[in-house]
């Protein structure tokens, strides 16, 4: 696989995950500036709710862009997903405050989050297929390049907020500093578009197109013949997504609102999580090409299940950083096997639709609400914070135990 293909598969997902995570990193500032003045905890919950609303359109994006990706090509869809997501994120940095225009700001913010979700819904599947469908037998390893972009986007978002919060005063961060990361999205989209325009279509899609195997309605085929694969992929993606959001969003917010850590320590911890995640994505991808996707996914979920309660009960600065390292290991090690598995279980002519739908259904309906539901449960009693994650992970492990290994599946058709 050439460097251009790897770059093209990574650039869009880096930008889109960056856009997702600067929103969560800016939760305290957005709650203050774009919502009515109220209790800080309530304001944060409102922002998390808007964050969760963005997951509503991700399945829609998966079906729309999956359809065109399976009908017209992976490259075609990926240009539109990049533009939609990046531009909508950049506009957030231009929004007036709630005090200036009232509810118009909130409505606009929700619309922009829905658009970001729509683009991201179609982005991930296409980006993975650029790597998978050009990666021959090392599908776990090549998917690692795309999967590492989650950690890269998170790291970029965390570092820029860490930098800004270090050089700007608290009042400056609330007045204009938090907007800067969003405005940078415009520049990143321009760079990403140039790279994407240079990449070729994947070899496997080109082959299927030449053999006239393209389907009129790929989604119909998926729901009719591959609903079991869709269900499996949805739960596995949902559980791993929940593990990620616990480490990247919920634990930092929990420890910061509990006054255990400062905002700077929160950004530092998230950066540590991201670095560990990036490293483990490549480790997990390599291992899955040797031992299979299923064993690594089972172990990652099982370890998260064991760790989740101590992460919330042992409230100290040291336990915060340790928990984020561990959850970075769990998520990172399973993330590349996840991408490979849900791409391998669908044939080429429904692969974009199937893999995108499984991933986005899982992250939207199961993983996406995790932060808000867990925070809401935790507001009743902090012992309830992990309940949602515990239940979902247990169900997912049961699915994985019964699933077939996909490492040796031939994906040439």
Question: DSSP string spanning 96-123?
Answer: PPHHHHTHHHHHHHHHHHHHHHHHHHHH
Let me know: does 348 contact 205? Beta carbons within 8 Å. Answer: yes
* C-alpha 313: how far from chain center: 26
- Rounded to an integer, the average pLDDT of 194-214 is 87
Residue 376: pLDDT band with limits 50, 70, 90: confident
Let me know: does 111 contact 234? Beta carbons within 8 Å. Answer: no
Question: DSSP string spanning 251-315?
Answer: HHHHHHHTTSS-HHHHHHHHHHHHHHHHHHHHHHHHHHHHH-HHHHHHHHHHHHHHHHHHHHHS-
Reported as a single tens digit per residue, the pLDDT across 38-96 is 677 777 778 878 877 877 899 999 999 999 999 998 888 999 999 998 899 899 999 99
Query: Rounded to the nearest 5°, which phi and psi values hold at 406?
Result: -115, 0
Fold for domain 3-402?
Growth Hormone; Chain: A; (1.20.1250)
According to the model, what pLDDT value does residue 154 have? 79
Q: Reply yes or no on whether the pLDDT at 1 is more than 70.
A: no
Distance of alpha carbon 265 from alpha carbon 320, whole angstroms: 9
According to the model, what pLDDT value does residue 413 have? 63
According to the model, what pLDDT value does residue 132 have? 86
Distance of alpha carbon 65 from alpha carbon 72, whole angstroms: 10
Q: What is the DSSP code (8-state) at residue 382?
A: G
According to the model, what pLDDT value does residue 412 have? 66
Q: How high is the mean pLDDT of the chain?
A: 89
| 224 Cβ contact partners less than 8 Å away, ≥ 6 residues apart | none
Reported as a single tens digit per residue, the pLDDT across 226-279 is 999 999 999 999 999 999 988 888 888 888 888 899 878 888 898 899 899 999
Reported as a single tens digit per residue, the pLDDT across 149-166 is 988 887 888 788 888 988
Reduce the DSSP state of residue 52 to 3 states and report it: helix
Distance of alpha carbon 58 from alpha carbon 63, whole angstroms: 9
User: What global pTM score does this model have?
Assistant: 0.87
Residue 203: pLDDT band with limits 50, 70, 90: confident
- Rounded to an integer, the average pLDDT of 365-383 is 81
């Amino acid at each position: 696989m050439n460097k251009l293909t790897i770059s093209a598969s990574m650039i869009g997902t880096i930008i889109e995950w960056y856009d997702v995570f600067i929103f969560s990193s800016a939760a305290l500032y957005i709650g203050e500036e774009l919502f009515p003045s109220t209790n800080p905890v309530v304001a944060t919950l409102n922002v998390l709710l808007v964050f969760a609303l963005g997951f509503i359109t991700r399945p829609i994006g998966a079906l729309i862009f999956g359809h065109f990706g399976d009908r017209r090509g992976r490259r075609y869809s990926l240009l539109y997903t990049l533009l939609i997501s990046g531009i909508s994120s950049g506009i957030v940095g231009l929004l007036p405050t709630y005090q200036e225009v009232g509810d118009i700001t909130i409505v606009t913010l929700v619309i922009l989050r829905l658009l970001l979700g729509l683009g991201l819904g179609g982005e991930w599947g296409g980006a993975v297929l650029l790597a998978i469908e050009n990666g021959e037998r090392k599908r776990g390893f090549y998917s690692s390049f795309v999967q590492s972009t989650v950690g890269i986007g998170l790291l970029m978002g965390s570092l820029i907020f860490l930098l800004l919060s270090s050089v700007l005063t608290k009042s400056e961060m609330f007045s204009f500093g938090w907007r800067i990361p969003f405005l940078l999205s415009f520049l990143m989209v321009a760079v990403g578009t140039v790279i994407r325009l240079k990449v070729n279509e994947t070899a496997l899609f080109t082959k299927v197109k030449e053999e006239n195997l393209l389907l009129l309605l790929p989604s119909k085929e998926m729901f009719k013949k591959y609903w079991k694969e869709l269900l499996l992929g949805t739960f596995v993606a949902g559980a791993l997504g929940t593990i990620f959001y616990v480490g990247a969003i919920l634990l930092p917010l929990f420890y910061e609102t509990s006054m255990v850590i400062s905002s700077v320590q929160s950004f530092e911890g998230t950066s540590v999580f991201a670095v560990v995640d990036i490293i483990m994505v490549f480790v997990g991808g390599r291992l899955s090409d040797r031992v299979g996707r299923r064993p690594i996914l089972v172990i990652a979920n099982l370890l998260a299940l064991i760790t989740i309660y101590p992460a919330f009960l042992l409230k100290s600065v040291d336990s915060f950083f340790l928990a984020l390292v561990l959850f970075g290991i769990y998520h990172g090690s399973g993330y590349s096997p996840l991408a490979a598995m849900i791409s391998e279980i669908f044939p080429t002519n429904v692969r974009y639709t199937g893999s995108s739908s499984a991933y986005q259904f899982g992250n939207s309906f199961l993983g996406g609400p995790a932060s808000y539901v867990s925070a809401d449960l935790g507001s009743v009693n902090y012992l309830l914070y992990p309940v949602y994650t515990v239940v979902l992970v247990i169900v997912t492990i049961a699915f994985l135990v019964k699933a077939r290994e996909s490492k040796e599946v031939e994906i040439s058709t």
